[in-house]
Structure 1
Amino acid sequence: MVAHRYGQALFDLAEEQDLRQPLLEELTELKKVFADQPELGVFLTSKQISFAAKSKMLQFLIDKASQTVANLLRMTFDYGRLCTLDAIINEYIRLNDEFEKTVRASVITAIKLEDAQKERLASSFAGVVGAKKVYLDEKIDPDIIGGVILKSNSYIYDGSIRTKIAHIKRLLLK
């Protein structure tokens, strides 16, 4: 996969140059720019837009970027791979998380968790998955009735009341 190769090369370069953390911050910001302005990606990859206009817009991004990110933008643009930029950044983030033993997980609850509850949940989950740090993306879903559902790349824990009721229902129907 192209994104994996580019992301790995970018991560290796960042480690060699001791730029892993600053590059992570810059790539995260770049990802946010493209997410907040989806028409920017469409503009830069559209066949209806002139090469000169796209180059001018790309230069605006490059002027604000570090040398490494500027090179990444130029290379993906020149090779027609700008549409994979988001996947490349995601791969870099994944590799960095793996390096730092960080896990990103979503937590689904029926009501909003207090900060102390989120910290305890993150700490407990870190112990279960062997991570140093856990980032929780909180989602509210009243349909789960109560309890918690935790999902990461390699782990799913469903302790919701809805699932427990469904399990009891299946047992009663046997």
Structure 2
Amino acid sequence: MSAIFQAEDFHSVETGGGISGGIQASLSGRYAVALFELARDSNALDTVAQSLSGLKKALAESSDFKALIVSPVVGREVAVKTVAAVAKSMNLDPLTSNFLGVLAQNRRLGQLSAVIRHYETLLSNHRGEARAEVTSAHPLDATQITALQKSLRARVGREVALDAKVDPAILGGLVVKIGSQMIDSSIRTRLNTLAQAMKG
């Protein structure tokens, strides 16, 4: 395994540069900060983000991959070999591939989903964006996403990166979380066109 990551990277990461103390407070946050800082120093922020996006999609769509990540009975050696194979098959960049290997070696694969979320937040902060978690009853198309980003940008005064999720249980409309703020029916009239398009 490459020595890009060292064990100390995940135990004593310095704060600074706008890094959230809340992220630093958790184990997954410290892993995310270490990955983010190495990606930044290697001019690979977007490349790593793309690889993490692929992993996020795999976690959502592959029950086998998710089982590997969350299972407490998968041995260290098996986990390391399996994630190496996954990284190769998904054409992940070297930094992300190595990072997955470190998680497996440290028996921390269960932290992967949280690490991805934290990395996305760190990247949005680095870009000066707000990050919004948007839950809709049906998948949003490109036109709806653009309309929502425009409305949210007008509300928060800066660009907004969306993390879209689907939950049929909400039936219609949107639930939007930006940091600690939740926007729901209070802005449905402002997003009326979008809400009507989603009802179908």
TM-score normalised by length of structure 1: 0.70
Deviation at 1:106, TM superposition (A): 2.0
Tell me what 2:192 maps to: none
1:7 aligns with 2:35: no
* 1:3-59 C-alpha deviation (Å, 9 max, x unpaired): 110101111111111111111011110121122113324235645555554444223
Q: Which has the larger radius of gyration?
A: 1
1:103 aligns with 2:141: no
- Residue type of the alignment partner of 2:63: P
Number of residue pairs aligned between Structure 1 and Structure 2 = 157
**Whole-Å separation in 1 of the counterparts to 2:98 and 2:67:** 20
Tell me what 2:102 maps to: 75
**Whole-Å separation in 2 of the counterparts to 1:99 and 1:91:** 12
- Residue type of the alignment partner of 2:151: S
Tell me what 1:36 maps to: 61
Q: Which of 118, 134, 146 is 1:91 aligned to?
A: 118
1:155 aligns with 2:199: no
TM-score normalised by length of structure 2: 0.62
User: Is the 1:125–1:134 Cα contact (8 Å) retained in structure 2?
Assistant: no
- Cα 1:138–1:122 change in 2 (3 A) is farther
Deviation at 1:75, TM superposition (A): 0.7
User: Is the 1:34–1:41 Cα contact (8 Å) retained in structure 2?
Assistant: yes
- Cα 1:72–1:128 change in 2 (3 A) is same
**Whole-Å separation in 2 of the counterparts to 1:51 and 1:112:** 37
- Residue type of the alignment partner of 2:104: F
* 1:57-92 C-alpha deviation (Å, 9 max, x unpaired): 223124333221121111111111011111111111
- What percent of counterpart residues are identical? 20
Which range moves more in the overlay, 44-53 or 5-14?
A: 44-53
Higher helix share: 1
- Cα 1:86–1:114 change in 2 (3 A) is closer
What is the RMSD computed on CA atoms of the aligned residues? 3.3
Which sections of structure 1, spanning at least 5 residues, go unmatched? 162-174
